[in-house]
Chain A
Amino acid sequence: MLRLEDVFFSYGKQVVLEGVSLSVREGDFLALIGPNGSGKTTLVKIVLGLLKPMKGKVFLFGTETGRFSEWYRVGYVPQRPALDTTFPSTVAEVVAAGRFGRVGLGRRLKRDDRQAIEEAMELVGLLPLHDRPVTELSGGQQQRAFIARALAGQPDLLILDEPQVGLDDRALREFYRLLKYLNCEKGITLLMVSHDVGVVGRWVSRVACLNRTLICHGTPQEVLNPGNLSRLYGTEVRAVAHSH
């Protein structure tokens, strides 16, 4: 479904990703973890075609991203709700935008599009709030609105970039339950970027650890052991200790 082959990327002289090879198979719920500045977001941007890898190849559904055109098959939930705090939009308007890629340029939404938008809101439990301005929602509700937006396009692959930021414990649990439901019941493949190592292992089917290079990947039981985690976070922890 998604395959990265020996991907290399740098901002100027600073190498951010080096020889990263990774594949996400159909039905996976993969968490990509790593410390801040480990290249996670860059990797997501490369997968989404927003950045071009300097070396290596990325395949989405078997097609290289440069030639890939069925972008509506990929749902994307950005890092923090990308909407400005003053942007006037109702939940329904935000969610509908997720359908636009599938509808086509200059075409109107048809009945099945409206149905998909409604279903997406229903799925995340926001249908009763559909005409509320997004700015009036709580952090957790806003997050769900953006997931609904990604779902409105009925994607096969859903990519979430640190979606947990700003959610309290209860919202976080509900959020993981929703993702699990989408993965198991709706058959959507998930790739989630996270820096939260503690909770993530309980919910996902696979974990990949990234810190410029791919340090390890496998099931949470295989990967999330003290040895790997200190390899992943060790240098950073020490650096912090030194600075104090």
Chain B
Amino acid sequence: MLSMFQYDFMVRALIAGLATGIVCPAVGVFLVLRRYSFMADTLAHISLAGVALGLWLGVASALSPFLTLAVAVCGALLVDRLRTRERVSADALLALMMSGGLALAVVFFGLAGGAPVDVTSYLFGSLLTVGSRDVWLILAVAVWVLLLLALLAKEFYYVCSDEESARVAGLPVDRLNLLFILMVAVTVAVCLRMVGTLLVGALMVIPVLAALLVGRSFRQVVLVSVIIGVTATLCGLTASYQLGIAAGGCIVITALLLFGALYGAKTLLNLCRRSRTGDSSGQAN
């Protein structure tokens, strides 16, 4: 297994994976609790349109991640505008933007024609597509997002738990919401290379759902989500290397297995507890 460290691409993938595993669930906690779990998927599909646009326009490969970022940010701004100004309901809005993003991606890929690119690597993620420039970009975005989250953690928490009260307290709720959706957009756009469009949303959601099973406080949920995210990415990447299967699938399956294990453990614990209280009440009678 240690042989994988001999390969530069694998070391790059592991570094990028570590950053992805931390930043995706950290952002995901707020998405899941606000019932915007599909936001990440939506922005991922919009980002894919950005990738395809880059191929069609023949943008140099060094610039194409930035084009993807720009398209993701535009998509996020549009989602936010529709959400706040037009009062479109959340699920309908995300469905609209997701299919729009995917349709544009398909059209742009089509227009790009015979471009020598493996579309599946963008859909399902790949270890080989993560170049050293990508690693730096992922690290830069991860640091920026995590710094903002740390700085504004209490504000994001308040808005996420009770938006109306946060507004009454004088917090700039609309601006915080906009900033947050931009953070999600850039996170999705850079993590896309590794986990893939179809699965980046899963890495934002599944670790959080698993953490919600065990966390008793908000702080615990954030911490456990990140631990699960990192474990899933690192184990998933190793499996991807060993089995030669796309990275995204391996990472998400690992996250699902962790979720299943925690769910099983919790159910078992509850059963034990119930039978124990049943016993003691039986004795009391």
Contact = CB atoms under 8 A, between A and B. Distances in A.
B168 interface: yes
Interface of A: 48-50, 69, 71-72, 74, 76, 78, 82-84, 86-90, 93-94, 96-98, 100-101, 103, 105-106, 109, 131, 133, 149, 153
B165 A106 contact: no
A227 B219 CA distance: 54
B170 A89 contact: no
A87 B33 contact: yes
17 contacts: A49-B167, A50-B167, A71-B170, A76-B169, A82-B164, A88-B215, A88-B216, A88-B218, A88-B221, A90-B217, A93-B157, A97-B165, A100-B154, A100-B169, A101-B171, A106-B151, A153-B169
Nearest to B162: A82
Contacts of A69: 170
Contact of B155 (A49, A83, A105): A105
Given A72-B169, A101-B170, 20 more contacts: A69-B170, A71-B168, A76-B165, A82-B162, A82-B165, A84-B33, A88-B216, A88-B217, A89-B218, A90-B217, A90-B218, A93-B217, A94-B161, A97-B157, A100-B155, A100-B171, A105-B152, A105-B172, A106-B155, A149-B165
Nearest to B29: A88
Contacts of B180: none
A101 B169 contact: yes
Given A83-B162, A97-B158, A88 B168 contact: no
A133 B161 contact: no
Interface in B205-253: 212, 215-221
Interface in B135-169: 151-152, 154-155, 157-158, 161-162, 164-169
B191 to A, nearest CB: 24
Nearest to A101: B169
Nearest to B33: A87
Interface residues of B, number: 26
A91 B220 CA distance: 14
Interface in B171-196: 171-172
B35 to A, nearest CB: 8
Contacts of A153: 169
Contacts of A103: 154
Max chain A Cβ within 10 angstroms of own Cβ: one of B164, B217, B221: B217
Interface residues of chain B: helix, strand, loop or mixed (majority): helix
Interface of B: 33, 151-152, 154-155, 157-158, 161-162, 164-172, 212, 215-221
A97 B162 contact: yes
Given A78-B164, A105-B155, A89 B169 contact: no
A111 to B, nearest CB: 16
Contacts of A105: 152, 155, 171-172
A83 B168 contact: no
A98 B170 CA distance: 11
A149 B170 CA distance: 15
B217 A89 contact: yes
Given A86-B212, A101-B171, A50 B164 contact: yes
B165 A90 contact: no
B170 to A, nearest CB: 3
A88 B172 CA distance: 23
A93 B166 CA distance: 14
B168 A48 contact: yes
Max chain A Cβ within 10 angstroms of own Cβ: one of B151, B158, B166: B158
A114 to B, nearest CB: 13
B212 to A, nearest CB: 6
A118 B83 CA distance: 37
Contacts of A84: 33
Max chain B Cβ within 10 angstroms of own Cβ: one of A69, A101, A153: A101
Max chain B Cβ within 10 angstroms of own Cβ: one of A49, A76, A83: A76
Given A82-B164, A83-B162, A87-B161, A93 B218 contact: yes
A164 B165 CA distance: 18
Nearest 6 Cβ contacts at the A-B interface: A101-B169, A71-B170, A82-B162, A90-B217, A97-B158, A76-B168
A36 B157 CA distance: 32
Contacts of A89: 161, 217-218
A133 B217 contact: yes
Nearest to B35: A84
B251 to A, nearest CB: 24
Contacts of B212: 86, 88
Nearest to B151: A106
Contacts of A50: 164, 167-168
Max chain A Cβ within 10 angstroms of own Cβ: one of B33, B154, B218, B221: B154
